[in-house]
Amino acid sequence: MAQKIELPTLGSVYRQAAADAVKSKLSSNGSLKALPKEAVVTEHPGISAEQVEQYRELFGGEAFDGVHRQSLPSVLVHIAAFPVQMALMSRKDFPLPLLGMVHLTNSVEHHKPVYAEQPLEILARAENLRPHRKGTQADIIVEISAEGQLLWSSVSTYLGRGAYMFSRSEHEEVASGSREFSAPSKTALWTLGADTGRKYAAVSGDYNPIHVSGLSAKLLGQPRAIVHGMYSAARMLEGREPESAGHSWSISFEAPVALPGRVAFAAEEKDERTLAFTGWHPKKQRRHFTGELKLPQS
């Protein structure tokens, strides 16, 4: 069961969310205790060559010219599907408020290569509404296919901060994510300028004010702008994804990365197929994210 929609623009989604937030100051849409059963699905005309090039300019790496690289990076595919996720989450029957939503984890199975200008069908549905210590979390499943063949699927877990929809004990029982952290040996150091959020926004279309500038972030209660979570995912994966796809990866976000700032980064080989990633604050020993990339069996 799926509702066909037009490919939404993020701007319209955000405007809708802002309007909703004014209408209802409630942290949750009180009466809704369940996720919409219906998926949304849309036709995507294909990721434009222009956007591919913008992405490449931001993250570097070889050209997607069919010679150096052809298969698009997973995060760019995510970017294509993101408005569909947002459209789902901004529906009236979605129980968690869009503004203030926190991206907790993202995992992707990239089954087959996705190419520029390849028409795609993008489906998004919500699952698994469950308590979190700081609110309520839900999974957004995205499936991207072309000509009936599944190319790419992901599970994005979001937290509706402050939306306590379960009993107090149910929320409190959820284990805290914070653990002791000892930094591994770094293999890279990312230097992120104050404009990193704006640059990623320009590529992804995600002009969420919290990422765009210090001033706009302050309006949302953050002292400084923070980088998009998926920016970190993109840098973590840049140059490491196989051209033939078949890989999977995941990222769990912890402390947000304030801009401008630096991220110490380590890539560690767990076994022949698995790379583990860690990003942390180089001075404060606070972890920003952990990630993993599993390569296909060769």
Partner 1 sequence: MPADSIRDAVIIGGNRIPFARAHGAYAGASNQDMVTSALNGLIARFGLQGQQLGAVAGGAVLKHSKNFNLMRESVLGTPLDPNTPAYDVQMACATGMEAIGSLANKIKLGQIDSAIGGGVDTVSDAPIVVTDELRGILMEANRAKTMGQRLKALAKIRPGHLAPQAPGTNEPRTGLSMGEHMAITADKWGITRQEQDELALASHKNLAAAYDRGFFDDLVTPFKGVSRDNNLRGDSTIEKLGKLSPVFGKELENPTMTAANSTALTDGAATVLLGSEEWADAHDLPKLANFIDYEEGAVDFVDGEEGLLMAPAYAAARMLKRNNLSFEDFEFFEIHEAFASTVLAQIKAWESEEFCREKLGLEAPLGSIDRSKLNTTGSSLAAGHPFAATGGRIVATLAKLLHGKPGKLGFISVCAAGGQGITAIIEGR
- Give the footprint of partner 1 on this chain (CB under 8 A): 57, 60, 183, 185-191, 194-195, 239-240, 264-269, 275, 282
Q: Which residue, 204, 276, 264, is CA-closest to 240?
A: 276
CB of residue 26 to partner 1, shortest distance in Å: 40
Contact status, residue 213 vs residue 64, Cβ threshold 8 Å? no
Residues 6+ apart with CB under 8 A from 281: 255, 261, 262, 263, 264, 287, 288
Q: Which is nearer to partner 1, 60 or 221 (CB)?
A: 60
Q: Which is nearer to partner 1, 93 or 268 (CB)?
A: 268
Q: Which is nearer to partner 1, 141 or 276 (CB)?
A: 276
CA–CA gap between residue 40 and residue 2 (Å, rounded): 5
Q: How many CA atoms lie within 13 A of 201 on its CB side?
A: 18
Q: Which is nearer to partner 1, 189 or 220 (CB)?
A: 189
CB of residue 32 to partner 1, shortest distance in Å: 44
Q: Which is nearer to partner 1, 178 or 285 (CB)?
A: 285
CB of residue 146 to partner 1, shortest distance in Å: 32
Residues pairing with 149 in the sheet: 146
CB of residue 191 to partner 1, shortest distance in Å: 6
CB of residue 158 to partner 1, shortest distance in Å: 30
Residues 6+ apart with CB under 8 A from 30: none
